[in-house]
């Protein structure tokens, strides 16, 4: 809610791209999640697919399938990241925003992402999902390699072999290949069912075609198989013929696997648990039918049988469909078996991921039930330093066991050590007044909200600047105004640290109030109150950045999440995914408003005087600034001057507020700003 300040300083945070000071000797910590998503990947061709340009060699075919498997994972990743991009509405944007935030992610092959990057990008569940996808991708890859070996063996031995034998083997191979594809489809459908992968249903065609990019297009299979059998294999005709069958529905495609004696998948009619597939298939189906009014395979008016999306009016019709289309036959049996494999694979993967999660949490000394620390590093974007000396003591005290915050608040002082940060960031003795290039900084409000109790009870200096704390105190109030004494009280109430050394920090508070133009003293009915000029606050520390990716990264890290998405997506889309970014896609106006601290301000000292705003970017220098600055000197006039509100780019809501509040209205824009 609160505007994310530009200058909150965070202690012991991963230090963005700058690492930490040379004195501390810390290594550059891996940047936070946002920074980790900069579009650094070259990206593979997203349009990889079965070009229907004719024949493919077996090697090409396998490579092609690997590419498709890769795409599956990538698309999955894309979806996941897009969901992450909008914490508020993950569901609603799953399919629509697939090309937005995750652009940078999408540009990177999942294999190009390090596990650390993955973790930074995705939340644990999402990460697990991605890992599952990638693992399955690996699984498919292995299977394909196996097939490849098989194929090579056949080819080598093929010449002396009789035609029939070779044909059978090829047929078996093709069936195995088909099963592989089915497996992929099953998994994709499975993911789709779980909402992990959003695929456009293609109602006109069979289920196979619902995976236009992720799986081999059925229409390409004949070509592929033709190419596969191209090396003078006599079975070419049959292959081609059967491949053509695949262009039909899934039923016809899979019915191709019907010949039992040449169908390796079907030759093993025993399930992993020893049950005959046939029996389970039938019994599962019938047992499901016993459920009145619903059926596990029926939902949203369509058949949920893997690979089947037949629309059914009602349950009765579905039952009919189930009995006719998915009766006990080889196809259903094979599909069931595939489904079991999918489930098994997922279970295995789940177990692995769970184990990994446990190990990770154990390594990080976290309780499994506390997800909060995961988010801490994101909040702990390094800001410009502050409270340096105390920061040192606070940060160092924890490793020494001197001060142990509540578990829920352990993160802010002992944040998760970023992989690249190591213990150096926490080692005792190192100077902790850290400042990063992240002039935009983390949300103090969320940080405080999460660790309110900790700061309240622990005599630890908060890792924020006086300015940010003062601002926070003011913004927390409904009126966005506080007297000096109220600010004092807020400090002492919120932070145990400020219950001592009152003279020092109170002096500092006063000093900051007077020093920073962002704090505006307003003569109120009840006396003088202090308000925050949010724009001045944001303007206070212009980033020393240029238009480099670092700029984007820093912008991202400093903006609040909501605004971040738009600008981030736009920026990333613009920089790394031009195809998705039509000229009108990126709104310069919004971008500028969202990123008020563009490098244009760098080097330009805060300019309160120019009334025409010519000496500074117009959007940043509304007359309000100068007025507000003048408020300090002439509060009464300032009130009058600000009353009309900022003419441009300065949202001035609540103009209808109480007279004494009209001076404080400028804080609201700040929220919108961030």
Q: How far is the CB of 94 from DNA (least distance, A)?
A: 37
The token pair that represents 465 in the structure block: 């600047």
- DSSP for 191-248, written as a single string: HHHTTSS-----SSS-GGGG-TTTS--GGGHHHHHHHHTTTT-TTHHHHHHHHHHTTS
Rg of the chain taking only CA atoms, in angstroms: 31
Q: Find the shortest distance in angstroms from Cβ 116 to DNA.
A: 20
Give the nearest distance from C-beta 254 to DNA in angstroms.
59
> Which residues have CB under 8 Å from 297's CB, separation 6+?
285, 288, 303, 304, 305, 318, 322, 326
Q: CB of residue 668 vs DNA: minimum separation in angstroms? A: 22
Q: How far apart are CA 455 and CA 409, in angstroms?
A: 8
Distance CA 648, CA 169 (A): 75
Among residues 58 and 443, whose Cβ is nearest to DNA? 443
CA distance 199 to 111: 22
**Which residue, 541 or 627, has its beta carbon nearer to DNA?**
541
The residue among 547, 558, 560 whose CA lies nearest residue 599 is: 547
CB 85 within 8 A of CB 101: yes
Rounded-to-integer distance, Cα 237 and Cα 225, Å: 10
Name which of 74 and 433 has its Cβ closer to DNA. Answer: 433
Q: Which residue has the tokens 């259903």?
A: 332
CB of 386 to DNA, least distance (A): 3
Residue 588: name the closest of 544, 540, 649 by CA.
649
At CA 386, angle to CA 382 and CA 3, rounded to 5?
Answer: 60
Of 70 and 390, nearer to DNA (C-beta) is 390
Cα distance between residue 637 and residue 630, in whole Å: 8
Point out which residues bind DNA (CB under 7 A).
Answer: 7, 9, 15, 18-24, 382, 384-390, 431-437, 464-467, 483-485, 488, 501, 503-508, 510-515, 521, 527-528, 530, 540-542, 544, 632
Which CB, 350 or 609, lies closer to DNA? 609
CB of 141 to DNA, least distance (A): 42
Select 226 or 439, whichever has its Cβ closest to DNA: 439
Residue holding tokens 């995914």?
A: 577
Q: Could you give the C-alpha distances from 360 to 36, 114, 354, 367, 415, in angstroms and in order?
A: 19, 15, 10, 10, 14
Residue number with CB closer to DNA (384 or 616): 384
Nearer to DNA, 270 or 501 (CB): 501
Closest CA to 187 of 34, 306, 40, 328: 306
> What does the CA dihedral 451, 456, 459, 465 come to, rounded to 10 degrees?
70
Q: Which is nearer to DNA, 320 or 499 (CB)?
A: 499
Shortest Å, Cβ 399 to DNA: 17
* Minimum CB distance to DNA smaller for 150 or for 630: 630
Decide whether 100 or 386 has the Cβ nearer to DNA.
Answer: 386
289 three-class SS = helix
In the chain the first and final C-alpha atoms are separated, in Å, by 9
Task: Choose between 382 and 613: whose C-beta lies nearer to DNA.
Answer: 382
Of the candidates 591, 536, 600, 604, the one whose C-alpha atom is nearest the C-alpha of residue 559 is: 591
Q: Looking up tokens 């009209």, which residue turns up?
A: 662
Phi, psi of 206 (to 5 degrees): -70, 170
528 φ, ψ (degrees, to nearest 5): -85, 135
Min dist. Cβ of residue 22 to DNA (A): 7
Q: Measured from the CB atom, is 265 or 617 closer to DNA?
A: 617
Q: Cβ closer to DNA: 74 or 417?
A: 417
**Burial class of residue 147 in the structure, from the number of CB atoms within 10 Å of its CB (0-12 exposed, 13-18 middle, 19+ buried):** buried
Cα 119 to Cα 287, 378, 392, 407, 594: the distances in Å are: 41, 11, 28, 22, 27
Which sign does the torsion angle of CA 473, 475, 479, 484 carry?
positive
The nearest distance, CB 495 to DNA, in angstroms, is: 12
Backbone angles phi, psi at 489, to 5 degrees: -60, -40
Nearer to DNA, 124 or 635 (CB): 635
What is the spatial distance between Cα 39 and Cα 211, in angstroms, rounded to a whole number?
A: 27
């Amino acid at each position: 809610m609160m505007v994310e300040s530009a200058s909150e300083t965070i202690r012991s945070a991963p230090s963005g791209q700058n690492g930490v000071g040379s004195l501390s000797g810390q290594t550059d910590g891996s940047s936070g999640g946002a920074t980790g998503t900069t579009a650094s990947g070259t990206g593979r061709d997203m349009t990889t697919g079965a070009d229907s340009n004719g024949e493919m060699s077996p090697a090409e075919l396998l490579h092609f399938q690997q590419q498709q498997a890769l795409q599956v994972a990538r698309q999955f990743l894309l979806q996941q990241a897009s969901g992450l991009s909008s914490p508020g509405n993950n569901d609603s944007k799953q399919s629509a925003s697939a090309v937005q935030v995750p652009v940078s992610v999408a540009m990177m092959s999942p294999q190009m992402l390090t596990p650390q990057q993955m973790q930074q990008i995705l939340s644990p569940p999402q990460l697990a999902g991605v890992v599952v996808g990638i693992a399955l991708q690996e699984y498919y890859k292995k299977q394909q390699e196996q097939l490849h070996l098989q194929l090579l063996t056949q080819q080598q031995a093929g010449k002396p072999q009789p035609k029939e034998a070779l044909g059978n083997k090829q047929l078996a191979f093709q069936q195995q290949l088909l099963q592989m594809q089915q497996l992929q489809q099953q998994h994709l459908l499975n993911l789709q069912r779980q909402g992990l992968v959003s695929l456009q249903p293609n109602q006109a065609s069979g289920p196979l075609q619902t995976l236009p990019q992720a799986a081999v297009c059925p229409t390409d299979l004949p070509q592929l198989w033709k190419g596969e059998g191209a090396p003078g294999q006599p079975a070419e005709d049959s292959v081609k013929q059967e491949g053509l069958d695949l262009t039909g529905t899934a039923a016809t495609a899979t019915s191709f696997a019907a010949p039992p004696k040449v169908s390796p998948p079907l030759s093993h009619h025993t399930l992993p648990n020893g049950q005959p597939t046939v029996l389970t298939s039938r019994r599962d189906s019938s047992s499901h039918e016993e459920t009145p009014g619903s059926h596990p395979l029926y939902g949203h008016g369509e058949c949920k049988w893997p690979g089947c999306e037949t629309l059914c009016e009602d349950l009765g019709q579905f039952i009919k469909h189930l009995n006719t289309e998915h009766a006990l036959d080889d196809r259903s049996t094979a599909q069931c078996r595939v489904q079991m494999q999918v489930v098994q694979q997922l279970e295995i993967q789940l177990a692995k991921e769970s184990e990994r999660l446990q190990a990770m949490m154990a390594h990080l000394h976290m309780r499994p039930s506390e997800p909060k620390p995961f988010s801490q590093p994101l909040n702990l974007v390094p800001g410009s330093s502050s409270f340096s000396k105390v920061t040192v003591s606070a940060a160092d005290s924890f490793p020494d066991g001197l001060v142990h915050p509540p578990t829920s608040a352990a993160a802010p002082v002992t944040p998760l050590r970023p992989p690249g940060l190591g213990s150096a960031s926490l080692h005792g003795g190192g100077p902790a007044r850290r400042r990063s290039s992240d002039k935009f900084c983390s949300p103090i409000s969320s940080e405080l909200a999460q660790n309110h109790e900790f700061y309240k009870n622990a005599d630890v200096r908060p890792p924020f600047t006086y300015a940010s704390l003062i601002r926070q105190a003011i913004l927390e109030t409904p009126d966005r105004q506080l007297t000096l004494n109220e600010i004092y009280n807020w400090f002492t109430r919120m932070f145990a640290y400020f219950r001592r050394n009152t003279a020092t920090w109170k002096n500092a508070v006063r000093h900051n109030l007077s020093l920073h133009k962002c704090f505006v003293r307003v003569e109120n009915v009840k006396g003088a109150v202090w308000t925050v000029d949010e724009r001045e606050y944001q303007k206070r520390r212009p980033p020393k950045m240029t238009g480099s990716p670092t700029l984007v990264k820093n912008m991202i890290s400093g903006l609040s999440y909501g605004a971040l998405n738009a600008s981030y997506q736009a920026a990333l889309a613009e920089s790394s995914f031009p195809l998705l970014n039509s000229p009108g896609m990126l709104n310069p106006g919004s971008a500028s408003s969202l990123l008020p601290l563009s490098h244009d301000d760098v080097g330009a000292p805060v300019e309160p005087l120019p009334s025409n705003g010519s000496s500074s970017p117009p959007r940043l220098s509304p007359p309000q600034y100068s007025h507000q600055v003048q408020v300090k000197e002439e509060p009464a006039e300032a009130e009058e001057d600000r009353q009309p509100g900022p003419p441009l780019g300065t949202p001035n809501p609540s103009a209808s507020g109480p007279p004494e509040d009209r001076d404080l209205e400028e804080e609201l824009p700040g929220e919108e700003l961030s």
